[in-house]
Structure 1
Amino acid sequence: MASNPPGRCCVTGARHEGSPRGEIKKFNDVEVYITYPKDKNTENAILFLTDVMGHRFINAQLIADGFAENGYFVYMPDLFHGDPVSLNPPEDFDIMAWLNGPPGHLPDRVDPVVQASINEMHKTLGCKKIGGVGYCFGAKYVVRNLGYMSGVGDRLDAGYVAHPSFVERDELQAIKKPLAISAAETDSIFPTSKRHESEEILIGTKIPYQINLFSGVEHGFAVRLSEETRVGNFAKEQAFVQAITWFNIYLP
């Protein structure tokens, strides 16, 4: 693997405060949080693939609004068929049992939602270029859709992921479009060894890539930063800036 399977750190953190300005709609019976840039233009778009807390998690919605404020139309689907994980679940919560099911949340159930989302964005919503954003769980499906791992159909034009989990080596090797990664110094899911392995794979692809490593933070910091410190806030904000800057170059 290029990153390890999810663990307890994938479901813990802090709930952030704010007032989301997007809206929940349904497309093909899938709930989607959508948020528009000021000019309502949908040509440059972000497909936001969440961590296991899902599309109704306020932290994700506020980040989606941030992308919209920077000029991108954002489409954030429910990847979990109405079965996300609650933030900070009981200690006995088994994330691998949740993943493997039944009903489960593996590629056979998630890939169709992602592919339908990309198709909907292109064919119905007028999106011309689509960047994929993936946090933790969602990173796997950004990577899969930068290559040829998720079946037939349209794919993403560029990708950004933060503290990725569950990414297979062959998925990363298969990418055909630019990819940026935000990594935490302390991360059992994407530790130093996996980060270095990912660097070697990305060098071999000959595809544009970027990896930023942030000190003083842990897995999940870009979405669920728990402790408000100068260092933590800097890392969270700069991870977002990294994503915006990346898409400003690769989604012209």
Structure 2
Amino acid sequence: MSECCVKGFKWDGTPKGHETSLSGNATYVTGSNKDVAILVIHDLFGWTFPNIRLLADAYAEEVNATVYVPDFFGGEVLSSEILRKNPSEWGPLDLAAFSARNSKEVRESEIISFANSLRSLHKRIGAVGFCYGGWAVFRLGAKKHENLVDCISTAHPSWLTKEEIQDVGVPVQIIAPEIDPVFTPELKEFSNRVIPSLGLPYDYQYFPGLEHAFAVRGNEDNQAERQGLERAKNAMVHWCKQWLHD
């Protein structure tokens, strides 16, 4: 993980959903569509971060879906107060240790188990991942997990590999800022070269001048970032509506 993965802004607003438990995971749930579900996989700030819940509320209303934001960090939450500080003021924050506790090897099985639980409850399922959640939605959409999800979307994914990109087997959308030290120009080029060759519906949205994390932690008071995060939200809504509704 890079410092960019824990920088950004907390948005104003009050989430509308409720907390419950599903598949052994504490989960934020919003919306009430019995047929259509969206699984949102959080960034490093976890399932309680207000921004991720506000986005979930928007998806529930605008896609007409039941949206789930599970805790995939085993109850650990990074404080949003980090966003108010410079890296030199982060104190004991150890990103390497946090990443090890929440590695792919540690968390993939429970993410797949959660998606399986949703498949038993809903007819159509989309998976949306931000930063940390980016690699996870590609794993859910892999050909070896056929029928686990019906489409995926990710904004500025982290930990994503070329192997995961070329293994995807469902309609895929990528929200890509210009400035991103983790979803690098090399990975952008690879995605745009390889995914179209897989015979899958593919939507690549490029955001010039914007940085990693803008779609979930952009500055609402900065016009360019606000326009970017709104465009990203609208693009994800349109993508999910297209593939989750007949």
Could you state the TM-score of these two structures normalised by the residue count of structure 1?
0.88
CA drift at 1:91: 5.9
Larger deviation: 190-199 or 175-184? 190-199
Q: 1:146 corresponds to which letter in structure 2?
A: G
Q: 2:131 corresponds to which letter in structure 1?
A: C
Segments of 5+ residues of structure 1 without an aligned counterpart are 1-5
Residue 54 (structure 1) aligned to one of 46, 52, 75: 46
1:105–1:147 CA distance, 2 compared to 1 (3 A): same
CA drift at 1:204: 2.5
1:133–1:191 CA distance, 2 compared to 1 (3 A): same
CA drift at 1:116: 2.0
CA contact (8 A) 2:38 2:127 kept: yes
CA contact (8 A) 2:146 2:169 kept: no
- 1:1-252 matched pairs, under 5 angstroms: 6-36=1-31, 40-70=32-62, 71-87=64-80, 88=82, 90=90, 93-100=93-100, 104-123=101-120, 126-148=121-143, 155-226=148-219, 228-252=221-245
SS at match of 2:194: helix
Segments of 5+ residues of structure 2 without an aligned counterpart are 84-89
Q: In structure 1, how many angstroms separate the alpha carbons of the residues matched to 2:191 and 2:146? A: 26
Report % sequence identity. 30
SS at match of 1:242: helix
Equivalenced residue count is: 237
Q: In structure 1, how many angstroms separate the alpha carbons of the residues matched to 2:167 and 2:48? A: 31
CA contact (8 A) 1:139 1:164 kept: yes
Could you state the TM-score of these two structures normalised by the residue count of structure 2?
0.90
1:212–1:28 CA distance, 2 compared to 1 (3 A): closer
Q: Which runs of 4+ in 1 moved over 6 A?
A: none
Larger deviation: 239-248 or 189-198? 189-198
CA contact (8 A) 1:11 1:85 kept: no
CA drift at 1:227: 5.8
Higher helix share: 2
